[in-house]
Structure 1
Amino acid sequence: MSETVKIATLSEDGGSFDAYVARPEGEPRAAILVIQEIFGVNAGIRRKCDKLAEAGYLAIAPDLFWRLQPGVELDPDIESEFQTALGLMGKFNQDAGIRDIQATIDYARDLTAKGKVGAVGYCLGGRLAYMTAARTDVDASVGYYAVGIDGLLGEKEAIANPLMLHIPTADGFVGPEVQQAMHKGLDSHPKVTLHDYEGLDHGFATEFGKRRNDEAAELADSRTAEFFAEHLG
């Protein structure tokens, strides 16, 4: 079962934003926040939520671009929409986004018996998943092809709960130097696990479209499933 809910912000000026919620049959094992790519809460992100619900989790995807343009749904395989997405990313206030993620975590904790909440993000969402691990009380986080992590390594000591990052080695948005910095900065961190995917590009685990690589996506998703089963129950 799925629905759209309203979540109040943590900002003093108030406001609220939409979030897509997919619910499992029966009591949820835990809740998992699905953090969007630069393309909004589109069909692919909703499908990620639906699959998590099929696995027994309550999945929730907040509309993080709501301050710029509520309800963004873009297709990365259409060049004009890809360019629109890049423009939105450039305007997006990531600090405000993390506060909205915390608001969503707070909302989701009340929807499960154990109160445990994880997060999984893609692209920009992968970066935000790292920031979520460092700046919120989330119980476990996963980032796929996260961008710009080299600039966030100063926050690694704040990561108190498990974090997994999936890194395609031929990522056109995350060059070899950045990947090397990620490994150098995070390989020894007791809470962080990195997985490399040789020769794969950004977006390999998308649900729909030209970027997907079925074999690698299934491997990464199986690792994510095991990770959440271990850390969320």
Structure 2
Amino acid sequence: MIKYVLYFRVSTKRQGESGLGLAAQKRDINLFLENYSSTPYEVLQEFTDVESGANSDRPELHKAIKLAKAEKAVLLVSKLDRLSRKVSFIASLLDDKKLDFKVAQMPTADKFQLHIYAALAEQERDFISTRTKAALAEAKAKGKRLGGLRDKTNERNKVRRKQAENEAQKLSGILLPMVATHSLQAMADTLNNAGLRTARGAEYKPMTVKRVIDRLGM
């Protein structure tokens, strides 16, 4: 019988209390267990951290890893970034001969593929950070006042984020049952056919639906 230790991570206390991020992770893990795991299987225990993925010192993760090793169980997570956003930390887990872990969203990926995916994801985050710094430096070089402008922009962004979060919450009951079985286009069509519109009064597009799903942590 194959044994599993389940690990979940949400980045903020709000996500943990709402259950939205956890619900999506549990859905993915259940799909893996039902469709990709050999049977019979046993879930030994679940562990959950409310921590940033950049922080590798997470108490519940260490407990999960310790139990998985002791019981010769598979550490199962929904997405690779639930373990860590650092490729060095992922690599250390992959090199650990006593630890076996699986990623629900990449059920057939081997260790080499997981390492490549982690490296590409980290590279993308580094590039986004570099691009943002370059844009700020360019604006400063042109003599733009970043202080007051940034404050006003931040306020507008806060309002927009709040509106987007409210919109996502309203749609969660419709989208949650559809995520695993419907395409983004099909979900957009469902919302539009129901007469629903975005906060700006526009029809839903596949990428609009994707942003809503990402906000809900599905």
Larger Rg, first or second structure (1 or 2) = 2
User: Taking CA–CA contacts closer than 8 Å with sequence separation of 6 or more, which of the two structures ends up with the larger relative contact order?
Assistant: 2
TM-score (norm 1): 0.32
TM-score (norm 2): 0.33
Q: Which has the higher helix share?
A: 2
Q: Which has the higher strand share?
A: 1
